[in-house]
A and B are shown apart, each in its own frame.
Chain A
């Protein structure tokens, strides 16, 4: 910035701030949007593995991804058949 622009109060260059913010948000959104896509596959694979050991109803195996603060928690919930 020249002394002239200091006197006349030129605007601050803000493009570098914009770029940094975009780098973060785009990386984050790419990761989170591509994330949950694998859940149906994971669920199907889990059903296949677990039913080798005992009969399960596919609907009784639930998988989900949850945000807790800075962490992502993968939750797998399996309801065992009754009478065991």
Chain B
């Protein structure tokens, strides 16, 4: 059985694509055969973040419409074994994603022996976002410590609970995970920013992890390498911990507490 994981948020620009790339890479690194699908039809970006933009020939919509088969459209990742990318179409609009079409592609991936299928949702609560969460078994709700992001996350949780297949068919509900991203321990400590515990209290779903705000993400996207592969950076370690927790391991939270810089550091710079 393939497990379908939808990475969603409601609000735009909070880190869904960054997270999809890193979660998919992390699962593949653990030996699971993993596909990551870009549902952001018309605004594809996952290919750039995964560094495979020049190898895109066919896309998700081509497969749905029968212009290409899945085998032709899936791109084998060059950094990580067991990992494949299904890019979004750049020229269509989101209505090209039909429910039957999406279901057909997901079923076929399952037949091909994929363990995990990660769906990178577009922003919003419209058709594209609903298609990305319709077949979810698990959902990673990406939230920034900021009022509009938290409210939109709550909206999208409501939609998961009403429009997913699992909800409609009355099966066991979609398993929800909170992933707080772009977190600044210093600003949270100083009361300028919601803390991750505030966010968890508000949204009332289990916390999968807290990803710190970091320049490493920009460096990663510049190079087309998922952030989780930026060795020994807090962002990569935080994503690796999140993967461990997702797979049922226990890892204490890291990079969430603010340590006051010592006097020397304050005098001579540093972060």
Binding site for B on A (CB under 8 A): 11, 13-16, 18-19, 21-23, 25-26, 29-30, 33-34
Contacts and interface: CB of A to CB of B under 8 A. Distances in A.
A18 B195 CA distance: 11
Interface stretch (B41-49, B102-110, B151-159, B163-171): B151-159
Contacts of A23: 202
A13 B190 CA distance: 7
Contacts of B158: 29-30, 33-34
Interface of B: 146-147, 150-151, 154-155, 158, 188, 190-195, 198, 202
Contacts of A22: 147, 150-151, 194, 202
A14 B194 CA distance: 9
Given A15-B194, A18-B146, A19-B198, 13 more contacts: A14-B191, A15-B191, A15-B193, A15-B195, A18-B147, A19-B194, A23-B202, A26-B150, A29-B154, A30-B154, A30-B158, A33-B158, A34-B158
A14 B198 CA distance: 13
Interface centre among B147, B158, B188, B193 (most CB of A within 10 A): B147
A13 B202 contact: no
Top 6 A-B pairs, shortest CB-CB distance: A13-B191, A19-B198, A26-B154, A15-B191, A18-B147, A15-B194
A51 to B, nearest CB: 29
Contacts of B191: 13-16
B202 A19 contact: yes
A29 B159 CA distance: 12
A16 B191 CA distance: 7
14 contacts: A11-B192, A13-B192, A14-B191, A14-B192, A15-B191, A15-B192, A16-B191, A19-B194, A19-B202, A21-B147, A22-B150, A22-B151, A29-B155, A29-B158
A14 B154 CA distance: 21
A83 B193 CA distance: 67
A23 B147 CA distance: 10
A74 to B, nearest CB: 22
A25 B152 CA distance: 11
B155 A18 contact: no
Contacts of B146: 18
A23 B202 CA distance: 6
B78 to A, nearest CB: 42
Contacts of B202: 19, 22-23, 26
B198 A15 contact: yes
A34 B157 CA distance: 12
Contacts of A30: 154, 158
A26 B193 contact: no
A16 B193 CA distance: 8
Nearest to A19: B198
